[in-house]
């Protein structure tokens, strides 16, 4: 696959790797860096050696994407539900407590390890640690994810997320009552300077947009539906805290709740256009038992 871009005025002065990360949101930074180091990226027909090469307005950027690296992450028998599967994609219902892909702190026992055990093929665009992974859910967030089985499907799904034609809806129980029964939160989010484990709302960073609607008020909590316009790390959790009502059980942005392993946040619905048939597909799953049981303990008003 070959792609050609021209540097616009607003992109002048950007690093080459940052520019390509915007153009290819489905690729990891390490994959982009690897493209540059292997001289598969040219700027005005020349091959820059550094990912930090600074761009100038009007420059032509050619990108050649060859076959992705071979997947070698170990397959493991991990328990999760496959909701749907065909030749292009898999829709899974990720349980709470399951990390999506291997990382520095979690080398095995992830959703990816389970996918390699149960699914014949996965796209390799994101490399050996994240095969098929188009988007993620936090470890303690449960619910629906779509996984790509080939690179064509991966690129299509990633572009839909970027274009906001892939819709993701969540249910969460918040501590206290939101003042407005529905609305939109639009802020900048980036890494918290005081705690690197957290993200936070700041004056600059990446734009984050979340729509919300209260479904039911309880005596001390409220059940809220969230839909994402963007997909930033911890976005719903950060925006819930920003609204002054963190998600119940969120140890990082709220407080730990006895009897809960993590936040009551569930991706209950996902809708996207199938990469091959161009038909819109929508999937829904109910909330997990622990979420349902906690809701039953809430006193209605």
Residue 248 buriedness (CB in 10 A; 0-12 / 13-18 / 19+): buried
Catalytic residue among 17, 88, 138, 250: 138
- In sequence order, the β-bridge partners of residue 266 are 142, 171
Cβ density class 9-24: b for 16+ within 10 Å, e for less:
eebeebebbebbbeeb
- The C-alpha angle with vertex 67 and arms to 66 and 69, in degrees rounded to 5, equals 120
DSSP 286: P
Asked if 236 contacts 265 with a C-beta cutoff of 8 angstroms, the reply is yes
Active site residue 138: yes
Cα–Cα distance for residue pair 47/273, rounded to 1 Å: 36
Q: State how far the Cα of 255 lies from the Cα of 35, in Å rounded to an integer.
A: 43
- Residue 94 to residue 275: CA distance in whole angstroms: 22
Q: Which helix (H) or strand (E) holds 142?
A: strand 142-148
259 sits in the region (left: phi over 0; alpha: psi -120 to 50; else beta) called: left
Residues with active-site annotation = 138
């Amino acid at each position: 696959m070959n792609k050609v871009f021209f540097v616009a005025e607003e992109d002048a002065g950007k690093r080459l790797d940052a520019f390509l990360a915007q153009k290819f949101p489905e690729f990891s930074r390490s994959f982009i860096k690897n493209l540059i180091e292997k001289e598969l990226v040219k700027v005005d027909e020349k091959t820059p050696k550094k990912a930090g090469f600074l761009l100038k307005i009007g420059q032509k950027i050619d990108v050649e994407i060859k076959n992705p690296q071979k997947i070698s992450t170990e397959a493991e028998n991990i328990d999760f539900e496959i909701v749907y599967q065909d030749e292009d994609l898999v829709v899974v219902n990720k349980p709470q407590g399951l990390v999506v892909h291997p990382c520095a702190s979690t080398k095995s026992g992830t959703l990816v390890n389970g996918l390699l055990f149960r699914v014949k093929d996965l796209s390799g665009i994101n490399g050996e640690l994240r095969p098929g992974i188009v988007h993620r859910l936090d470890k303690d967030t449960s619910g629906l994810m779509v996984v790509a089985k080939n690179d064509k499907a991966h690129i299509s799904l990633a572009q839909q997320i970027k274009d906001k034609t892939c819709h993701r809806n969540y249910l969460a129980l918040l501590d206290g009552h939101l003042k407005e029964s529905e609305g939109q939160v639009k802020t900048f989010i980036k890494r918290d300077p005081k705690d690197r484990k957290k993200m936070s709302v700041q004056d600059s960073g990446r734009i984050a947009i979340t729509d919300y609607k209260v479904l039911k008020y309880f005596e001390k909590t409220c059940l809220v539906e969230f839909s994402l316009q963007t997909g930033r790390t911890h976005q719903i959790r950060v925006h819930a805290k920003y609204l002054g009502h963190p998600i119940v059980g969120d140890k990082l942005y709220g407080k730990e709740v006895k009897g809960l392993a993590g936040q009551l946040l569930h991706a209950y619905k996902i809708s996207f256009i199938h990469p091959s048939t161009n038909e819109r597909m929508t999937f829904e799953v109910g909330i997990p038992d622990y979420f349902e049981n906690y809701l039953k303990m809430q006193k209605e008003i």
